[in-house]
């Protein structure tokens, strides 16, 4: 299939099915023991797949950056094919390959045309990569240097520093408190044998989940799953993420010479699958999740002009993840903005949303739902979340019904249960406000 034909197919697909309905999720276990999740999507001649491993930075141990560097090494080709030759072969198929590591998971993704000759050629390259990645000294040195360069650049970003300091404060002594990309000291201490050992331990069939979305039937999906996962060692599943121990609230300021001060306030909140998930989704949409019509936006920007943007959200994880509210403001306005942000959160916890606010939020979320699954990439993202956190297979099918069933009382009760304004930590990064001078006698 020519590139021009592919472009035409893509354009026709975007015009014809802007919000197509998603087929039901199919699920089975491959011969190697890997859980497989499949959604047929024949509208476009494409196949998207992703192998997810419980191999994120929570498994770095005392070596921050180990998961990130291991995933980066998967860009270096195979033991028999250097990176330039490997990527040239991949480019010849028109496929794209990606790998990366986050807090809890690492992944390897492939997007290819679905016609069998092209698809099989791309899959063969992925199979070879999974079987024998290129762990050699020059490749390791190159990826280590690139990761260190990125980490050093992040030290110049007040927003990144604020995010990291916030997680370190909430999750002191827990793997969630360590940046997923690692630290300069941690990455500098890594060695090639450490990376190889991490790959051998975590990139195994029993620690993997395979997601497939695209133009392929069930029999074809089963063949792809078996071929891909049989290249992996059987191994064992990674241990569960350790329990989180809540920390006492702290307020911390990091001095940084920048025009804007980054302000974050929040606390440990809920895990994936919490029964209050849908009430909190609705409640937070009113509080700070609905862009320019949220309560926080109205009070902080529209009425007082203290920040260009302000938002809040929950980040559920395997263990309770954080609730975060954040904004940027001028240094001299920091304390005023913080007092307003804390006050609005406390008022929302005490009063909850109004019935009108709740219905506006519900309509907005229900109306926007089709856009969350309107292409293969978005379906794959949702599928990864459902599979990794073992959510119900009908999670997306019932999402709208679950949201529609939430009552005002449930929202108010859930907000009061999970948000504790007096227990929230505060992080600011920027210039400290000038000291207030005493009036002259």
> Residue 172's domain is classified under what CATH number?
3.30.830.10
Residue 236's closest CA among 61, 74, 53? 53
Same domain flag for 213 and 283: no
The total number of residues shown for the chain amounts to: 441
CA dist 299 and 341 (Å) reads 9
Domain limits for position 387? 251-430
What are the pLDDT digits (tens) for 391-413?
999 999 999 999 999 999 999 99
**pLDDT value for 20:** 45
Same domain flag for 280 and 418: yes
Question: For 186, left (φ over 0), alpha (ψ -120 to 50), or beta?
Answer: alpha
pLDDT exceeds cutoff 50 at 13: no
CA dist 44 and 56 (Å) reads 32
pLDDT exceeds cutoff 50 at 285: yes
Q: How sure is the predictor about 10, in pLDDT bands with cuts at 50, 70 and 90?
A: very low
Domain count, the chain: 2
Phi, psi (5° rounding) for residue 10?
-65, -45
Average pLDDT (283-289) is: 97
What are the pLDDT digits (tens) for 221-274?
999 999 999 989 999 999 999 999 989 999 999 999 999 999 999 999 999 999
Find the angle CA(426)-CA(431)-CA(435) to the nearest 5 degrees. Answer: 95
Average pLDDT (132-157) is: 96
**pLDDT value for 435:** 60
Phi, psi (5° rounding) for residue 304?
-120, -10
**pLDDT value for 265:** 98
Same domain flag for 163 and 266: no
What are the pLDDT digits (tens) for 83-93?
999 999 999 99
Same domain flag for 216 and 329: no
User: Which of 195, 229, 263 is at the close of a domain?
Assistant: 229
**pLDDT value for 21:** 67
Q: 40 vs 434, which has greater pLDDT?
A: 40
Same domain flag for 411 and 302: yes
Domain presence at residue 115: yes
User: Which of 229, 259, 294 is at the close of a domain?
Assistant: 229
| Segment among 59-68, 115-124, 246-255, 431-440 with least mean pLDDT | 431-440
Domain presence at residue 5: no
**pLDDT value for 14:** 32
User: Which of 183, 199, 229 is at the close of a domain?
Assistant: 229
**pLDDT value for 229:** 93
pLDDT exceeds cutoff 80 at 440: no
Average pLDDT (165-180) is: 97
**pLDDT value for 153:** 96
pLDDT exceeds cutoff 90 at 9: no
376-389 CB burial, b ≥16 within 10 A, e <16? beebbebbbbbbbb
- The pTM of the full predicted model, rounded to 2 decimals, is 0.91
Same domain flag for 44 and 106: yes
Average pLDDT (331-342) is: 96
**pLDDT value for 291:** 85
Domain presence at residue 1: no
213 to 39, 216, 266, 370, 376: CA distances (angstroms): 5, 8, 36, 17, 6
274 within 8 A of 187, measured Cβ to Cβ? no
Same domain flag for 210 and 280: no
What are the pLDDT digits (tens) for 195-224?
999 999 999 999 999 999 999 999 999 999
Same domain flag for 41 and 89: yes
Domain presence at residue 28: yes
Domain presence at residue 371: yes
Q: How sure is the predictor about 78, in pLDDT bands with cuts at 50, 70 and 90?
A: very high
Chain-wide mean pLDDT for the chain?
92
435 to 256, 261, 306, 332, 439: CA distances (angstroms): 16, 16, 19, 10, 12
Average pLDDT (349-378) is: 95
**pLDDT value for 309:** 93
Domain presence at residue 408: yes
pLDDT exceeds cutoff 80 at 4: no
Same domain flag for 275 and 195: no
Domain presence at residue 108: yes
pLDDT exceeds cutoff 50 at 52: yes
Domain presence at residue 439: no
Same domain flag for 222 and 294: no
**pLDDT value for 5:** 32
Average pLDDT (65-83) is: 96
Same domain flag for 215 and 315: no
Same domain flag for 131 and 168: yes
């Amino acid at each position: 299939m020519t590139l021009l034909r592919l472009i035409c197919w893509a354009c026709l697909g975007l015009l014809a099915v802007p919000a197509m309905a998603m087929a039901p999720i199919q699920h089975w276990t491959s011969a190697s023991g890997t859980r497989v999740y499949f959604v047929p999507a024949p509208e476009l001649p494409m196949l998207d797949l992703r192998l997810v491993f419980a191999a994120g930075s929570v498994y770095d141990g005392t070596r921050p950056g180990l998961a990130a560097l291991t995933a980066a090494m998967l860009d270096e080709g195979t033991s028999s094919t250097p990176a330039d030759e490997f990527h040239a072969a991949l480019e010849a198929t028109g496929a794209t390959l990606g790998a990366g590591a986050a807090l809890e998971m690492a992944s390897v993704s492939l997007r290819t045309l679905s016609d069998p000759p092209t698809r099989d050629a791309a899959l063969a390259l992925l199979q070879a990569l999974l079987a024998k990645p290129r762990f050699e000294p020059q490749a390791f040195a190159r990826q280590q240097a690139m990761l260190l360069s990125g980490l050093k650049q992040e030290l110049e970003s007040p927003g990144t520093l604020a995010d990291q300091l916030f997680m370190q404060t909430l999750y002191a002594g827990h793997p969630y408190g360590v940046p997923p990309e690692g630290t300069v000291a941690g990455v500098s201490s890594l060695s090639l044998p450490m990376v190889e050992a991490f790959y051998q331990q975590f990139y195994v069939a029993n620690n993997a989940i395979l997601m497939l979305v695209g133009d392929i039937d069930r029999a074809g999906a089963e063949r792809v799953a078996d071929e891909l996962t049989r290249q992996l060692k059987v191994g064992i599943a990674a241990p569960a993420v350790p329990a989180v121990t809540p920390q006492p609230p702290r307020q911390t300021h990091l001095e940084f010479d920048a025009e804007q001060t980054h302000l974050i306030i929040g606390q440990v909140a809920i895990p994936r699958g919490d029964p209050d998930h849908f009430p909190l989704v609705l409640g937070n949409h009113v509080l700070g999740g609905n862009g320019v019509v949220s309560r926080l936006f109205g009070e902080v920007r529209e009425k007082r002009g203290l920040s260009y943007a302000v938002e809040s959200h929950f980040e559920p994880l395997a263990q309770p993840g954080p609730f975060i509210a954040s904004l940027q403001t001028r240094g001299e306005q920091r304390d005023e903005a913080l007092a307003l942000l804390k006050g609005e959160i406390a008022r929302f916890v005490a009063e909850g949303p109004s019935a009108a606010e709740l219905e506006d939020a519900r309509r907005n979320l229900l109306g926007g739902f089709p856009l969350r699954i309107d292409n293969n990439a978005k379906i794959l993202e949702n599928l990864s979340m459902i599979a990794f956190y073992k959510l119900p297979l009908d999670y997306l099918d019932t999402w709208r019904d679950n949201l529609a069933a939430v009552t005002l009382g449930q929202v108010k009760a859930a907000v009061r249960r999970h948000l504790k304004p007096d227990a929230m930590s505060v992080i600011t990064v920027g210039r400290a406000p000038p000291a207030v001078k005493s009036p002259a006698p």
